Structure 1
Amino acid sequence: MKASFLPENSTQGGGSDFNAIQVFKRLLEYLWRHKKLLALAVMFMILTALTEASFAALIEQVVNDGFVNAKEWHLKWLGLVVLGVVVLRAVLGYLANYSMARLGRYVVHEIRGDIFANLITLPTTYFAKNSSSKNVSKLIYDVEATATATTDTLTIMFKDTVVTAALVFWLFYLDWRLTLIFLFSVPMIYGITRYSNSRFRKTSKEIQDSMGGIADTVKEASIGHKVIKVYSGQKQEIENFGRANGFNLEQNLKRARVSSAIVPITLLAVGPAIALILYIYLNYLRIGPEAAGQFTSYLSACIMLMSPLKRLTKVNEKIQIGITAANSVFSVIDAKPERDEGLLPLHTTSGHMVFNNVSFRYEDDEQAILKNISFEIRPGKRVALVGPSGSGKSTITNLMLRFYQPQEGTITLDGHDITELRLKDMRDQIALVSQETTLFDDTIRRNIMYGMLDDENDERLIGAIEGAHVDEFLNELPEGLETLVGESGLRLSGGQRQRIAIARAIYKNAPILILDEATSALDNKSERFVQEALEALMKDRTSLVIAHRLTTIESADEILVLDGGEIVEQGSHSKLMRRNGLYAELHRAQSKKGRKGIFSFGRS
């Protein structure tokens, strides 16, 4: 089975590719939600920058009034003036940094919320193409990288741009000719920035991909820790992680090489300009005592320019990281949710479902999984699907639930094409119990009532607990219904998890039931409880049962035998055994292997 499918949606996420301007516009939407805080942050940054630049002018006063033309009043108060400027710079710096940090956390909070809100609406095909670890990486790593790059870039662009502009203005004020010499280094800085653009974006994308690979490896090792121990696979897993971790290291080192070279090269571009200015000033311009303050201030301003210039050249790295991360983030936010073009409401159903000449294949796969399938499930009846692995049994249930859409044919519910029904209304009529029981890291109560917490009904809850025989082990748990089941329900046994899943289906009280190999992983201790629970669950419901153990579906109203994507046999157990075809062959083969079924569905 392929990892990519032909979806209900024609468009999948992951294809977004924004340039710097588009990314900035998208992020500005999040920043603008907090425009008052943004305005305060920008104001504090500008004031901080001005106080920082004022030190260059203050140095002229210190030299002239403190050393060259010493005045008693200045000698007494000059130190306090310098202290006042330092304190003001510190306070404004704190306010600017805190405002930007607060703004950044709001952006992270809101982008994560938008990602998750859209993520849970995406079609099954999206999750087939994107692993859960990669989605986690987007929510954690990419969102942080986007927000950090945004706030850091804003800080540098506002604060350091103002500092640079103020210092350059001061340099022009002191001597415009020398300042022009200093500015000759700007084209080289621009060239360095242009060169690093593509390198940063490429390595940033590869680093993000490598983080997803690391997350995938850790997740697999955590889930499969028992198999790893039993089969002594520690060495193999360490090697797998080493490859993923090594690739991440390689990409980070690539970026580090480019990043580390930018500032030194920038200094090499600016340094000669400062040296030339110093040479001209000392050798060709006469400097009397009255010009000492001016020269010291000019030289100080040149040196002070180095720090903001370094940060401004480094801002390109942050921008490229932010663009790459934002492309990943917005690809999820912009991904189209499940297609739901149905307009017909459906509040209740008899459960009459018909497949009419349905064919389905996976994307980029020439061979169809289902070929011209037609069958009917009458209200209140039990229909079983059997057949070899890969014959299309689970695909039929996925089509019933509208996880995928067939290329040919129609599926109707009570005479209506299911694509014409509102998606939520249709799914509200179906309960699912599958082989891979899904429990959430929450209490037993909330797992049973999952999706229906706003419609709490104690009587219905008690009925579901008793009907699924959850009460048989619930009384043994100190916290009872409030017991936390742990990640994927790992604090409970397999049989206990399955009974909670059955209780969830009973609580939903849907007229249509799908059992997808729901008994294949049960232990003997749970046999009687699960048998009775499933019998209670299927009573008076339209049921579709997928079974590997054929003895479990002998009493079904009708059995459909699939092979190669086609229904090759159809009828009751006794009829199919008399026919002596594929079903009888499979049944005899299981009997010879002694694969005794856990239960047979009896009639009450």
Structure 2
Amino acid sequence: MTMSQPETSSMKIYMRLLTYVVPYVSVFALSILGFVIFASTQPMLAGILKYFVDGLTNPQAALFPKIPYLRDLQLLQAVPLLLVLIAAWQGLGSFLGNFYLAKVTLGLVHDLRVELFNKLLVLPNRYFDTHNSGHLISRITFNVTMVTGAATDAIKTVIREGLTVVFLFGYLLWMNWKLTLVMLAILPIIALMVGSASRKFRKQSKKIQVAMGDVTHVASETIQGYRVVRSFGGEPYERERFAKASQSNTDKQLTMNKTSAVYTPMLQVVIYTAMAALMFLVLLLRGDASPGDLIAYITAAGLLPKPIRQLSEVSSTIQKGVAGAESIFEQLDEVSEVDAGTVERDRVAGELQVRNLSFTYPGTDRQVLRDINFTASPGQMIALVGRSGSGKSTLANLIPRFYQHSEGQVLLDGVEIDQYRLGNLRRHIAQVNQNVTLFNDTVHANIAYGDLAAAPREAVETAAADAYAKDFIDQLPHGFDTEVGENGVMLSGGQRQRLAIARALLKNAPVLILDEATSALDTESERHIQAALDQVMKGRTTLVIAHRLTTIEKADLILVMDQGQIVERGTHAQLLAQNGYYARLHAMGLDEPEMAKAVDIT
């Protein structure tokens, strides 16, 4: 990689970041006007010193001898008055610049954060399988904050201090152009130092982001799995893991601060060396300039190092922002879920046909499903059984297109599922998984979630009753309006499962997928649920993955899977008679949950 490539790339990313400013261009223009006003006051302050020094010898002298009405204004009154006016003018500029730039940048960050979150909602499942949640959350929080710095502080510094340097140089050239050109000789050295530091800052910023993602990841894992941590005495391990991640982040931040701490004084030495040379030349070549002129010139030159130093330091802020924006744009540029379908139907009958279906997870060589064929008619219940890793859940996940198949066909009512619009396809499918997801909201909001939010309260209560959940809901402090806590932490496993089933019942979809949906229920709850499921399965295509015989022995068709293939198919009685895979599972106690788990057939 050549030296110019990272810089070009940085510029490209930063320019893309600035495209987010376009909707706020009028507000942005106001802030620039404010910074122009602010910067213009810097040479004014130096100029006022000239009149102050000249006024020391002749305070009665007129400031504006040739201007009517002002010719009687003596330096004695004019200098203090002008100082106050300049301060007021500077205050106005400062307010306009800071306030309106804050409006722009906070809007920009909000837009970026929202776009980033919205992108998460359309990314394919595979993306979440290969990226841990800590890093994804860190992008929305930490990385966006770094972009804020690049957008707010950096733009403010570049505009305000940049204009200040321009105005001061203009003033110096007007006062003594020869001396000022001598000062310019030092600028290439400053540019080299800034360029070198920029490359270091960007590299270090990327490392800091990754380290921050690790901190978020460890913390969120520990919070989510706190029961396991405490049950198995994982506190020392988690303490050490978090300390290590945090220390790594601290070390990287310190390295960046060290670079900045070394680089700023070095730059300062270079700038003040130039100032020393300038003072020598002023004293040597002062000619017939008045003391006021010389003081004004030296003061204006003395005001230059601060904005130049701040401009040089902005490099690190911009590089942090560029590094943050780079990871944000990486996610925004990810390919969304494929949704090229055009078919939309209000209701489907629910006939499901799977033909010659094979599937390999992207980026891997292992074929998870091989040549799967079956048909499920409306009202039929198909059960999938087999050992863990046999491909049952993968098959269930291909039907709502959580993963994209490339070999074979999956047809719903005779139409390949790829041809349906994604949202429309998923509207026809209700799914209940073993790992229930509930939101930190009320019971009612968790059942009537998403598309179901407009469902009448009576329908929500009926679905809860059918899922044998109403009894325990009525006993909660506020009934259906009780908050369930993060992921339903206030409820038992069985209660959470029943809410998930109530949600599926309320959806009233033609295709029902139950992936270990009754595994967290006690025997009595399961009996009631089974009765509710028997009702809800009528006229629906139901695909059940389960390890309890009570759930699957009534299935119209049982598919026995092993290593991604269907090795046996038939009813409960037919498969027992075959005395093969299914019969062996049955003999090992398929209908006893503990035994079933021991032989790991789920």
Cα distance in 1 between the residues matched to 2:76 and 2:481: 74
Counterpart of 1:12?
A: none
- State the Cα distance separating 1:228 from its structure 2 match: 1.2
Counterpart of 2:206?
A: 205
1:562 is paired with a residue whose SS is strand
- State the Cα distance separating 1:523 from its structure 2 match: 4.1
1:357 is paired with a residue whose SS is strand
The 3 A distance-change label for structure 1 pair 594 and 519 is closer
- State the Cα distance separating 1:565 from its structure 2 match: 0.9
The 3 A distance-change label for structure 1 pair 286 and 22 is closer
Cα distance in 1 between the residues matched to 2:467 and 2:559: 27
The 3 A distance-change label for structure 1 pair 593 and 286 is closer
Q: Which runs of 4+ in 1 moved over 6 A?
A: none
Cα distance in 1 between the residues matched to 2:140 and 2:273: 46
Cα distance in 2 between the residues matched to 1:503 and 1:551: 20
Counterpart of 2:227?
A: 226
- State the Cα distance separating 1:56 from its structure 2 match: 1.2
TM-score, length-scaled by structure 1: 0.92
Cα distance in 1 between the residues matched to 2:7 and 2:559: 47
The 3 A distance-change label for structure 1 pair 544 and 133 is same
1:214-238 CA-partner distances (Å, limit 9, x unpaired): 1110011101111111211111001
Cα distance in 1 between the residues matched to 2:593 and 2:97: 75
Once the two structures are overlaid, the 10-residue window that deviates more, 17-26 or 234-243, is: 17-26
1:387-411 CA-partner distances (Å, limit 9, x unpaired): 1111100110111111112231111
- State the Cα distance separating 1:577 from its structure 2 match: 1.3
Question: What are the within-5 Å matches in structure 2 for residues 54-453 of structure 1?
Answer: 54-65=44-55, 67-71=56-60, 73-282=74-283, 284-286=284-286, 291-453=290-452
Size of the aligned set, in residue pairs, is 580
Q: Which amino acid aligns with 1:396?
A: L
Once the two structures are overlaid, the 10-residue window that deviates more, 583-592 or 171-180, is: 583-592
Cα distance in 2 between the residues matched to 1:57 and 1:355: 85
Counterpart of 2:36?
A: 46
Cα distance in 1 between the residues matched to 2:282 and 2:426: 82
1:404 is paired with a residue whose SS is coil
1:401 is paired with a residue whose SS is coil
- State the Cα distance separating 1:169 from its structure 2 match: 1.2
The 3 A distance-change label for structure 1 pair 59 and 195 is same
1:153-203 CA-partner distances (Å, limit 9, x unpaired): 221121111100111111112222221222221111100111122211111
Identity in percent: 37
The 3 A distance-change label for structure 1 pair 17 and 472 is farther
Q: Which amino acid aligns with 1:241?
A: F
Cα distance in 1 between the residues matched to 2:361 and 2:511: 26
Cα distance in 2 between the residues matched to 1:471 and 1:130: 38
Q: Which amino acid aligns with 1:108?
A: V
Conserved in 2, the CA contact under 8 Å of 1:388 and 1:562?
A: yes
Conserved in 2, the CA contact under 8 Å of 1:262 and 1:313?
A: no
Q: Which amino acid aligns with 2:477?
A: P
The 3 A distance-change label for structure 1 pair 148 and 417 is same
Conserved in 1, the CA contact under 8 Å of 2:204 and 2:252?
A: yes
Counterpart of 1:22?
A: 12
TM-score, length-scaled by structure 2: 0.92
Cα distance in 2 between the residues matched to 1:294 and 1:97: 33
Conserved in 1, the CA contact under 8 Å of 2:430 and 2:504?
A: yes
The 3 A distance-change label for structure 1 pair 178 and 523 is farther
- State the Cα distance separating 1:538 from its structure 2 match: 2.4
Cα distance in 1 between the residues matched to 2:475 and 2:582: 43
Q: Which amino acid aligns with 1:399?
A: L
1:237-257 CA-partner distances (Å, limit 9, x unpaired): 011112211221122122112
Cα distance in 2 between the residues matched to 1:482 and 1:25: 48
Counterpart of 1:541?
A: 540
- State the Cα distance separating 1:529 from its structure 2 match: 3.9
Once the two structures are overlaid, the 10-residue window that deviates more, 184-193 or 150-159, is: 150-159
Cα distance in 2 between the residues matched to 1:596 and 1:452: 39
Cα distance in 2 between the residues matched to 1:390 and 1:453: 33
Conserved in 2, the CA contact under 8 Å of 1:358 and 1:372?
A: yes
Q: Does 1:34 align with 2:37?
A: no
RMSD (Å) for aligned C-alpha atoms: 2.2
Higher RCO, 1 vs 2 (CA within 8 Å, ≥6 residues apart): 1
Conserved in 2, the CA contact under 8 Å of 1:104 and 1:148?
A: no
Conserved in 1, the CA contact under 8 Å of 2:36 and 2:93?
A: no
- State the Cα distance separating 1:333 from its structure 2 match: 2.4
- State the Cα distance separating 1:525 from its structure 2 match: 6.5
- State the Cα distance separating 1:346 from its structure 2 match: 2.3
1:96 is paired with a residue whose SS is helix
The 3 A distance-change label for structure 1 pair 131 and 31 is same
Q: Which amino acid aligns with 1:70?
A: P
Once the two structures are overlaid, the 10-residue window that deviates more, 536-545 or 452-461, is: 452-461
Stretches of structure 2 that go unaligned for 5 or more consecutive residues are 1-5, 62-73, 598-602
Cα distance in 2 between the residues matched to 1:480 and 1:308: 63
- State the Cα distance separating 1:536 from its structure 2 match: 3.2
Once the two structures are overlaid, the 10-residue window that deviates more, 83-92 or 404-413, is: 83-92
The 3 A distance-change label for structure 1 pair 564 and 177 is same
2:304 is paired with a residue whose SS is helix
Q: Which amino acid aligns with 1:21?
A: M
Cα distance in 2 between the residues matched to 1:593 and 1:473: 26
Cα distance in 2 between the residues matched to 1:215 and 1:566: 40
- State the Cα distance separating 1:531 from its structure 2 match: 3.3
Counterpart of 1:461?
A: 460
Cα distance in 2 between the residues matched to 1:196 and 1:454: 54
Counterpart of 1:8?
A: none
